[in-house]
Amino acid sequence: MGRIDKESIGYRQQMIMKCMWDAGQPITVGEIIRRLDEMCGQTFAGPTINTQVQILVSRGLVAQGTKIHQSFTYSPLVSREDFQTREVKRFCEMTFNGAPSALVAAMLRNGISEDEIAKIKEMINA
């Protein structure tokens, strides 16, 4: 089994990354808070989200950009696809002892639609 990445990020940080990926352009903490409110139906405090953004910056996942009025903009340094690949690999190593087939078996036990099965078959055959 390979080395397990200990630098995973938490749920709130993943939600912040999702806000940035969905925005498709640099956004401020205020915009992140607005998007989180829409996604979760919960209002987050500015200092809380700012702290989480700074952690993402320190880990090299997010870049701090230009200052607009009193707020800096932020943008992801890692693509959604690269992040998903890293997280799935980490999850597979931690939970399924590094065996992708065990991950797929668990997904099948949980139920996958015929449409999703067809898409997976297309990807395998490609």
The CATH number linked to 25 is 1.10.10.10
Return the structure tokens found at 79: 């693509």
Residue 25, domain extent = 11-76
User: Within this chain, do residues 60 and 21 fall inside the same structural domain, yes or no?
Assistant: yes
**Number of domains observed in the structure of the chain:** 2
Predicted confidence (pLDDT) at residue 24 exceeds the cutoff of 60: yes
User: Within this chain, do residues 61 and 114 fall inside the same structural domain, yes or no?
Assistant: no
Predicted confidence (pLDDT) at residue 3 exceeds the cutoff of 60: no
Please tell me the predicted confidence (pLDDT) of residue 42. Answer: 86
19's CB contacts (< 8 A; 6+ apart) are 27, 31, 32, 35, 36, 39
User: Within this chain, do residues 71 and 95 fall inside the same structural domain, yes or no?
Assistant: no
Mean pLDDT (the chain) is 89
User: Within this chain, do residues 55 and 85 fall inside the same structural domain, yes or no?
Assistant: no
The amino acid occupying position 48 is: T
State the first-to-last Cα distance of the chain, in angstroms, to the nearest integer. 27
User: Within this chain, do residues 85 and 120 fall inside the same structural domain, yes or no?
Assistant: yes
User: Within this chain, do residues 85 and 69 fall inside the same structural domain, yes or no?
Assistant: no
- Confirm whether 29 is domain-assigned: yes
Distance CA 18, CA 87 (A): 14
Percent residues over pLDDT 70 in the chain: 94
Please tell me the predicted confidence (pLDDT) of residue 96. Answer: 93
Please tell me the predicted confidence (pLDDT) of residue 1. Answer: 35
The amino acid occupying position 121 is: K
65-112 pLDDT, tens per residue?
999 888 999 999 999 999 999 889 988 998 999 998 898 889 888 888
Predicted confidence (pLDDT) at residue 7 exceeds the cutoff of 80: no
User: Within this chain, do residues 100 and 71 fall inside the same structural domain, yes or no?
Assistant: no
